[in-house]
Structure 1
Amino acid sequence: MTRIALTGAGTSLGVESTDREQGYRVTTATGAMTETDADAHHHSYREDLPRLAETGTTAEILNLPSTTRS
């Protein structure tokens, strides 16, 4: 396995820290993350996560060809 898709609660802490500690190609599902602080959430997925990983909506990730999802 070389690629993972990240989702989760705590966008600015949980998702970002997991993304930083990975050894995989990471795609973050922007519509499948949440945060109790809306400003922190928006900053994470607009500014930080695109520098750390590819981003896409859940639908975009699920519609990737199966060869890129393996």
Structure 2
Amino acid sequence: MGDVRFGVKGEWSEPRVLQVQFQGISGHEVGQFRNGSRQIVVSPPESSSGEFVFPYAETLTAE
């Protein structure tokens, strides 16, 4: 996340809200979530670790 700076009231000087998508999930095994590799940061671009995957793209183009 880099350096963090705070404002005079203790707030972050730059907001850092992340949007995360779980990708590559298979089955119901909880172990696949332990190391964080399935949790992909998709926004903001400067902090992203992968691309947003739209789960219904094939369904929408099949019509």
TM-score, normalisation: structure 1: 0.25
Higher helix share: 1
Higher relative contact order structure (alpha carbons within 8 Å, sequence separation ≥ 6): 1
TM-score, normalisation: structure 2: 0.27
